[in-house]
Amino acid sequence: MTTPTPQTAPWWEELPAGRNRLRGRAHLHTDAPELSLDGTWDFRYGTRADGSDLGEPAPITVPGLWQLQGYGAPQYTNVVYPIPVDVPHVPDENPTGHYSRQVAVPADWADALAAGGRVLLRFQGVDSAARVLIGGTEVGVTSGSRLTQEFDVTDVLAGAGEDGAAEHRLDVQVVQWSVNTYVEDQDMWWMSGIFRSVDLLLRPAGGIHDLVTHADYDPATGEGTLTALATDADGAPVPATVRIPGLDLEVPADGTPVPVGPVDPWSAEVPSLYEATVTADSGAETVRLKLGFRRVVVDGDVLRVNGERVVFRGVNRHEVDQHVGRTQHPGNQDLDVALMKRHNLNAVRTSHYPPHQRFLEVCDEQGLYVICEGDFEAHGFHADSTWGEDPTGAARRPADDPRFLETLVERSDRFVRRDRNHASIVLWSIGNEAATGSVTTAMIQAVRDADATRPVLYEQDYRTDDADLFSLMYPSVQESREIGEKSLSPEFRERLVGMLRALGLDASDDGFDDAPALTKPFLWIEFAHAMGNGAGSLKEYMALTDEFDSLQGGFIWEWIDHGLVTTDAAGNRIWGYGGDFGERLHDGNFVADGLVLPDRTPSPALLDAKHHYSPVKLEVGAGTATLTNRHAFRDLSHLRAEVSVDGQLKWQELELPALAPGESGTLALPAAEAGVTVVRLLTREAEGPVPADHLIVAADHVDDAARAAAVPALGAAAAPVRAEDGSWTLGPARFDDLGRLVALGGLEVEHSDVDLYRAPVDNERARTHYPLEARWKRIGLDVPRRRLVSLTAEGDALVVRTRLGLDGSSLGADVTTTWRGDASAVEAAVTVTPAAHWPAGLPLPRVGWTLALPGGLDEVAYDGAGPHESYPDTGGGATVGLWTSTLEDLQVRYVFPQENGNRARVVAADLRGEAGSLALHAPEGLGLAVRPWSTAELDRKDHDGALEADGRTWVTLSAALQGVGSAACGPAPLPEYVLDASERSFGFRLTPGA
């Protein structure tokens, strides 16, 4: 069926790829002996795949990536291949690492071997291809960097090794570039080596080579059915018995479905698992596993788990560690799942390859719905505009290249066989961004053949001809609504047809009209691109899942920033991204777009997601809160409710109705003391990684008028006094002859002016769909020039009229600032009028005021929305109250410096430290950001670790801010979050302390 590459092809370019590998099978926990080969190996590095220029041996750690152990360098590209597209060939210069060590079969395996046992050598991850030799004899070749590969090494390890010693030399020749590279073009670092564990396994004669289980749950009866089949290496049944003590069950593992009576079903909400053993009747081997009974079906346009519609509140997860890259620190799997569970996530897509097997075990144990994805992406073919035209086939996309058929079908079969016993996996995906063709159709079929119990999806099957679910990445809120309504606008249809054509499909204008897509459930396979500050509008997306049954949620892009710890030229410790390792071709910081920073600190986007992913919808009104239980299976008896009416200082317990899944109810609330009521739901008891008293969701009701009224008014008016040099005093404030505030009591003020700018967020930078940064900078918005128009005393007010001008542009704004004061405070009333000819469609970043005060005001208390940052389209879960923070904790250390840290709806704040103190008041509620560096510094630096504090405290009050959107890879902010350049007025009061 395939045309093999001529025999002269070197092993790393051969198709079908891989040699002599055993068929994929489950990763089983067994009592058969296993010997870990992890540890220190000998390593020789060179640039030629044939190994002809290898250097001297040196120790290296396995598992590990050689680029992070002193050889070569990481390279980051998102789409484009870092090598010429010349299938199946790769360049002569090919970073190559030869790993070797001695290996001996443990003496106590001898009897089992004599009785017919076999020895397998297992690699769980080698990037990108390896040729394995024992004692100089080739054992095989790997294919599938993130796939487990096993070789039967019994015969080569039998008898003595070199010089009659018990040990044999194991050589693993790894190349960075191989034919696999063309089908492993995921958006991540290109790094190489043996990055997951290596083991030697004893397979006893009569043992359980493979085991496939299906633990089905019938929601109608509440009963389970277990099918288990134990097989040998040839696929023949092995007489074996399954025992589940928790069900008092003991049945043959012979593939016969066995009714097991009532069971507690598995779901992400309640992940009930049953400990099971499967023992070969010969006694040769016992394997242990945890079984979860559940049923996943596509029922028309709704996906159901255990009979109920579920909504995926998910995230895409790559395997990344800031020190060891794709090698997983033990513990990262548990930590990631714990963080996800604590932030209301219930689903994860293993983008874009099968994860370390421990991750799936934790998902089973703690409860996350998993889309397990195969190791397949060929995105670089889309980036090459000439593909499809090359008559040699060197640029033919693998999805319809028969040369790849066998290899890719085998990949699909292999990953499903490893993971199909996991309860957490509810869907399979064959891969990502690789177009469609006869090969992907065959891959989907291969997945179904290996496991008929779960639906299969593949996002790029846009028409959904083969896949069981319709999925897209980054559709807009409006497009998603149209999918929910099953009525696509002509524009969206046209876009979809364009997407089909971009895949090289010969789509006519009505190419989507007969597509089965809208008859199936829909998922955002990726949405809400969490790069830097953002993504915006998670609220609007998730609201659609409440409105339309067939919209079943999705997966935020992505879990973690892939920044790697390194140092810059100045010696700062930074998180490196594309371009920091000397790469010629790279995609910059597009590799840092996660909900957690590279060190796994939650970014505010994770807190925003936590809120909009809440399993209970909570809305607080005056005197009442409304709740809807969004769980599919649980009532609310595991939660409790509290209310605060005094700024979140004291909490009163409320009686929370149990509410069945889908049910709504209300809570009566006491009267608010200062216009603010906050309700929160907390866990009663610890469940897995979620502790007791853990916040699930909080929401507030704010009576802005009452809050404003609570801010005391100025006392008896102070009069502005002009000094001889033209400067002015007004209460505690001093202004220079240009009307600039220069001192507040004992606090020197180095800068005080209207502020229309912010350090652009990732979603506004070049290469986004909405590159506002360039437009803002073209008109000089980042370096505004002030010109005094007039400075006059008008009664008890000092009125300063200025013009904010922009270099090279006639745009700008007129600003009138009216200062009033009393003995201890000054108040500014500011009106900003942008130029009447300001271009429509060019939003302002901000309308606000920035002050530079002495450094060291590093204790900040504020009455506003907290504890985390908010922008107009983010900040879910931030509630109004009295919050305190250090200056340091107010900053968000985004990998690429950008606007951050705004606390919204602040009516009062107190900054204090060595330099003294300052009280701020803003009755109508302003955004507050306090920083140890200026916006210019945030704008200038390209790594968080390079930011330098300048000895001042920068305070920015924002009356209005542009939304952050998702345009780095998705839509711009929704119209309601766009800050148009119209006239705006705001005010604030400054009270210096002692």
Active site members: 433, 526
Q: Are 986 and 959 in contact (CB under 8 A)?
A: yes
**Between 352 and 905, whose beta carbon lies closer to ligand GAL?**
352
Q: How far is CA 315 from CA 457, 632, 647, 932, in A?
A: 16, 19, 33, 33
**Between 376 and 849, whose beta carbon lies closer to ligand GAL?**
376
**The CA-based dihedral angle spanning residues 493, 494, 496, 502, taken in that order and rounded to the nearest 10 degrees:** 170
Q: Residue 85 class from Cβ within 10 Å (0-12 exposed, 13-18 middle, 19+ buried)?
A: buried
Residue nearest to ligand GAL as judged by C-beta position: 187
Q: How far is the CB of 556 from ligand GAL (least distance, A)?
A: 11
Q: How far is CA 750 from CA 359, 372, 573, 728, 934, in A?
A: 52, 56, 30, 16, 12
The helix/strand/coil state of 559 is coil
**Between 274 and 590, whose beta carbon lies closer to ligand GAL?**
590
H helix or E strand, kind and range, residue 644: strand 639-644
Q: Are 516 and 464 in contact (CB under 8 A)?
A: yes
Q: How far is the CB of 471 from ligand GAL (least distance, A)?
A: 11
Q: Any idea what DSSP says for residue 239?
A: -
Among 346, 350, 432, 460, binds ligand GAL (CB under 6 A): 432
Q: Are 374 and 431 in contact (CB under 8 A)?
A: yes
Q: How far is the CB of 325 from ligand GAL (least distance, A)?
A: 16
Q: For the chain, give percent helix, strand, coil, nearest 5.
A: 15, 35, 45
Q: Any idea what DSSP says for residue 952?
A: E
Q: How far is the CB of 894 from ligand GAL (least distance, A)?
A: 15
Q: How far is the CB of 399 from ligand GAL (least distance, A)?
A: 15
Question: How far apart are the two ends of the chain, measured CA to CA in Å?
Answer: 85
Number of CB atoms found within 10 A of residue 653's CB: 9
Q: How far is the CB of 531 from ligand GAL (least distance, A)?
A: 7
**Between 187 and 361, whose beta carbon lies closer to ligand GAL?**
187
Number of CB atoms found within 10 A of residue 767's CB: 11
**Between 356 and 529, whose beta carbon lies closer to ligand GAL?**
529
* Beta strands 118-123; 198-203: pairing state: antiparallel
Q: Are 240 and 278 in contact (CB under 8 A)?
A: yes
**Between 187 and 561, whose beta carbon lies closer to ligand GAL?**
187
CA 683, 686, 688, 691 dihedral sign is positive
Per-residue x/- mask for ligand GAL, residues 36 to 75, rule CB under 6 A? ----------------------------------------
Task: Give every CB contact of residue 715 below 8 A, 6+ residues apart in sequence.
Answer: 822, 823, 824
Q: How far is the CB of 969 from ligand GAL (least distance, A)?
A: 4
Per-residue x/- mask for ligand GAL, residues 338 to 357, rule CB under 6 A? --------------x-----
Note whether 526 binds ligand GAL by CB under 6 A: yes
Per-residue x/- mask for ligand GAL, residues 481 to 510, rule CB under 6 A? ------------------------------
CA 50, 54, 57, 63 dihedral sign is negative
**Between 216 and 593, whose beta carbon lies closer to ligand GAL?**
593
The helix-helix angle for 477-485 and 538-547 (nearest 10°) equals 10
User: How many residues in the shown chain lie near ligand GAL by CB under 6 A?
Assistant: 12
**Between 588 and 927, whose beta carbon lies closer to ligand GAL?**
588
Q: For the chain, give the longest Cα–Cα distance.
A: 107
Q: Residue 164 class from Cβ within 10 Å (0-12 exposed, 13-18 middle, 19+ buried)?
A: exposed
Q: How far is the CB of 49 from ligand GAL (least distance, A)?
A: 28
Among 216, 365, 433, 608, binds ligand GAL (CB under 6 A): 433
**Between 432 and 729, whose beta carbon lies closer to ligand GAL?**
432
d(CA 878, CA 874): 9
Strand order in the sheet with 425-429: 456-457, 425-429, 369-373, 347-349, 312-316, 551-557, 522-529, 470-473
Q: How far is the CB of 187 from ligand GAL (least distance, A)?
A: 3
Residue indicated by tokens 């925003």 = 608
Residue 909 has which token pair? 């704040």
Note whether 605 binds ligand GAL by CB under 6 A: no
**Between 312 and 590, whose beta carbon lies closer to ligand GAL?**
590
Q: Any idea what DSSP says for residue 399?
A: G
**Between 540 and 593, whose beta carbon lies closer to ligand GAL?**
593
Note whether 375 binds ligand GAL by CB under 6 A: no
* Interior angle at CA 59, CA 58 and CA 64, nearest 5: 120
Among 67, 75, 78, 327, binds ligand GAL (CB under 6 A): 78
Task: Give every CB contact of residue 387 below 8 A, 6+ residues apart in sequence.
Answer: 85, 381, 395, 396, 397, 504
Q: How far is the CB of 702 from ligand GAL (least distance, A)?
A: 35
Q: How far is the CB of 775 from ligand GAL (least distance, A)?
A: 23
Q: How far is the CB of 968 from ligand GAL (least distance, A)?
A: 7
d(CA 774, CA 842): 11
**Between 530 and 620, whose beta carbon lies closer to ligand GAL?**
530
* Residues 544-563 interacting with ligand GAL (rule: CB under 6 A): 557
Residue 88 has which token pair? 């199946």
Per-residue x/- mask for ligand GAL, residues 527 to 546, rule CB under 6 A? --x-----------------
Q: How far is the CB of 349 from ligand GAL (least distance, A)?
A: 10
Note whether 187 binds ligand GAL by CB under 6 A: yes
* DSSP per-residue letters across 94-110: EEEEEEEEEE---GGGH
Among 523, 969, 979, 990, binds ligand GAL (CB under 6 A): 969
Q: Are 80 and 585 in contact (CB under 8 A)?
A: yes
Residue indicated by tokens 């370390």 = 356
Among 184, 593, 773, 827, binds ligand GAL (CB under 6 A): 593
**Between 151 and 896, whose beta carbon lies closer to ligand GAL?**
896
Among 112, 126, 280, 473, binds ligand GAL (CB under 6 A): 473
d(CA 458, CA 807): 50
Interface residues toward ligand GAL, by CB under 6 A = 78, 187, 352, 432-433, 473, 526, 529, 557, 590, 593, 969
